[in-house]
Amino acid sequence: MDAQLMFPTLDQPECTNGHTSISVQRFNSPEEDYSRTEEEVADNQITVSESFYLNMSNCMVNSKDFRVVTQITLQKSISRYLIIILAVVAALLVIFIILLV
């Protein structure tokens, strides 16, 4: 199952000490799939194909607030075998049509 994470509202203010951060990391994975602080331009969409953690941290801000709206949409992933089978059937159909004409 795939998860599509979208951040339609993202306001990461500058901090007095430390950083605001958003990170996405798959279970049992040492690497983060997505990691942004207030200093970086954040992507507003990411797709994760396994179970994951979504972590957000705040700090003492100079001005404004740390605001995030996160939309998570779960989708069943299409089996690779299904895609291969459909491609083979489509190719055979095209060959069959060419032979008939």
Q: Residue ranges per domain, the chain? A: 2-100
Tens-digit pLDDT string for the chain (101 aa): 788 888 888 877 777 777 788 889 999 888 888 888 777 776 788 888 889 999 888 887 777 777 888 889 988 777 778 888 899 999 999 988 888 87
Predicted structure pTM score? 0.62
For strands 60-61 and 52-57, give the pairing: unpaired
